[in-house]
Amino acid sequence: MCKNNGWANGDENGNFNPDRTVTEIEAATMLIKSNIGGFDEVIRLFGGYPNGYKAVADMTGMTRETGTLTESIIKKDKLLFLINRFVEVPMLGVSHTDDGTPVIEYNFGPVLELQRLASRNIADPFAE
């Protein structure tokens, strides 16, 4: 399911290794990729993996309590903080000024609520 939805790509051969450890950046990347609204433009703006995912995690506050993501094996406490913060992160988007300069825009609707509505195929009743 994770591979089919693009949340996890597996190892260099495309294999899923459930007994392998996961790094902090890999864990955050899987959470961010699971977001239905996506952060693709912001991730591209910051150079893709891993820097784009680190930037999204920092800008949305996912790493507020735990600090910047590293390539270290993730510990349970840090994973729980990331998951807890992820359900409340704002959506991010990119617009451009007249001269083409990218501008990051925040939409402070929590991801979890958007995912819950989308999973039931319901439009956000408060959207304008």
Tell me the pLDDT tens digit for each residue of 5-59: 777 777 788 787 878 899 999 999 988 888 765 688 889 999 999 999 999 899 8
**What percentage of the chain has pLDDT greater than the value 70?**
77
Q: Is 30 a domain residue?
A: yes
Q: What's the structural domain count of the chain?
A: 1
Residue 96, in any domain of the structure: yes
Q: How far apart are alpha carbons 113 and 95 in whole angstroms?
A: 24
Is 100 within the bounds of a domain? Answer: yes
Whole-prediction pTM: 0.72
Q: Choose the most confident range, by mean pLDDT, from 32-41, 48-57, 98-107, 119-128.
A: 48-57
In a domain, residue 85? The reply is yes
**What residue numbers bound the domain in which 28 lies?**
24-119
Query: Per the domain annotation, does 8 fall within a domain?
Result: no
| pLDDT bucket at 65, cuts 50 / 70 / 90 | confident
Q: Do residues 23 and 57 touch, judged by C-beta distance below 8 A?
A: no
